[in-house]
Amino acid sequence: MLDPFGRQITYLRVSVTDRCDFRCTYCMAEDMTFLPKADLLTLEELERLCSAFVAKGVRKLRLTGGEPLVRRNMMSLVNSLGRHLRSGALDELTLTTNGSQLSRFAGDLRAAGVRRVNVSLDTLDPAKFRDITRWGKIETVLEGIDAAMAAGLKVKINSVALRGINEDEIETLMIWAHGKGMDFTLIETMPMGEVDADRTDQYLPLSLVRTRLAQNFTLEDSDYRTGGPARYVRVAETGGRLGFITPLTHNFCESCNRVRLTCTGTLYMCLGQDDAADLRKPLRANADDALLHSAIDEAISRKPKGHDFVIDRRRHAPAVARHMSVTGG
Ligand code: SAM
Ligand code: SF4
């Protein structure tokens, strides 16, 4: 699949549910309205959609959400998608999770063919963790991370850099992650969906974080890539990898290789734009995939050049109205 700007689309991210057992302040309002249950695709339909993308050239699939592991019977989807790994059609099947259910599912994920997971964790302080996630318990997440590593999964920690919240803990988080042999990636907050907090207050540019880290650590340039937007450095003192995802301070759209599917079968060709294609209709119209394949081609032909994320005090509305949990972060 080639888009109008010559970018090859090989990566599909799937939000299998927009629901979550946490309510992170930068991601969701406390009182969220979720997509109506009646609009959800079944796990079998999601499997068929993902498989159509694999047939069209997708090599990497990431299941995300909301919290992917709170969707009932989720392992049946992971298990059936695992067949594409065994056939060689897919290079990687992976997940982004808040870690709350990993103790339960780590072994099953590994058995299905998953080799790496990203776990989102913004602080190691239990009280701060409770403040950020509103509903989460840090012990469960830490146990989940240990269970994942014990099951043989490679874990990467992702933290959203939040001004005045975890700003003073970034070094601690990095040293902790690297000490456990995990890569560590920082993310800038993106203006998606209304949340209760003020994003201009939360936004911490990673250019600043990087300058500060460079005062205490040797950050060596690295051309390591995982097929995502993160740019990595090697930290000489810890021997670990540190990634930066900087949609605001450094735009990476020119190398974008991905599209995003929601749990209702809507395809977003860009995280930061509203244009979308309905794939549920062609999926349900016919048991044969021909209609679906042409709807996918038509959608890819509309992939925009890039996003319009800006966070500043003059612009109060988010760049896109939907929350990250709908399109999947
Ligand atoms: N629940 C899972 C989790 O937390 O990892 C998967 C979905 S979550 C939406 C995926 C990632 O998006 C998380 O790392 C989260 O911190 C990040 N995220 C959520 N809202 C964001 C926002 N407005 N800006 C930047 N990152 C955001
Ligand atoms: Fe849930 Fe992940 Fe959003 Fe936090 S960031 S509310 S864990 S979907």
The pLDDT tens digits for 184-232 are 999 998 877 788 877 778 889 999 999 999 999 999 999 888 777 889 9
- For the chain, the farthest-separated pair of C-alpha atoms sits apart, in whole angstroms, at 59
- 2 within domain boundaries: no
> Which ligand has an atom closest to residue 189 CA?
1
Helix (H, G, I), strand (E, B), or coil: what is residue 205?
coil
Domain of 98, CATH number, reads 3.20.20.70
| CA 308 vs CA 194, 206, 274, 311: distances in Å | 17, 18, 11, 10
Q: Distance from first CA to last CA of the chain, Å, rounded?
A: 22
**Distance from Cα 62 to the centre of ligand 1, integer Å:** 13
- 200 within domain boundaries: yes
Binding-site residues, ligand 1, Cβ < 6 A: 20, 26-27, 64-65, 67, 96-98, 120, 158, 160, 187, 189-190, 192, 324-325, 329
Q: Which domain holds residue 50?
A: 11-327
- Among protein residues, the one with the nearest Cα to ligand 2's atom 3 is 27
Q: Shortest CA distance to 190 belongs to which of 205, 209, 171, 168? A: 205
Q: How confident is the model at residue 182 (pLDDT cuts 50, 70, 90)?
A: very high
Count of domains for the chain:
1
Q: How many CB atoms lie within 10 A of CB 141?
A: 24
53 lines ligand 2 (CB under 6 A): no
Q: Which residues pair with 312 in a beta bridge?
A: 315
Provide the Cα torsion 282, 283, 289, 292; round to 10°: 50
Counting residues of the chain whose pLDDT is more than 70, the rounded percentage is 95
CA pair distance 276, 136, nearest whole angstrom: 32
Predicted confidence (pLDDT) per residue in 237-291, tens digit = 999 999 999 877 666 788 889 999 999 999 999 888 888 999 999 999 988 999 9
With a CB cutoff of 8 Å and minimum separation 6, the contacts of 31 are none
pLDDT of residue 310: 62
> Which ligand has an atom closest to residue 187 CA?
1
> Which ligand has an atom closest to residue 192 CA?
1
pLDDT of residue 249: 65
- 3 within domain boundaries: no
DSSP 195: -
120 lines ligand 2 (CB under 6 A): yes
**Distance from Cα 100 to the centre of ligand 1, integer Å:** 14
- 226 within domain boundaries: yes
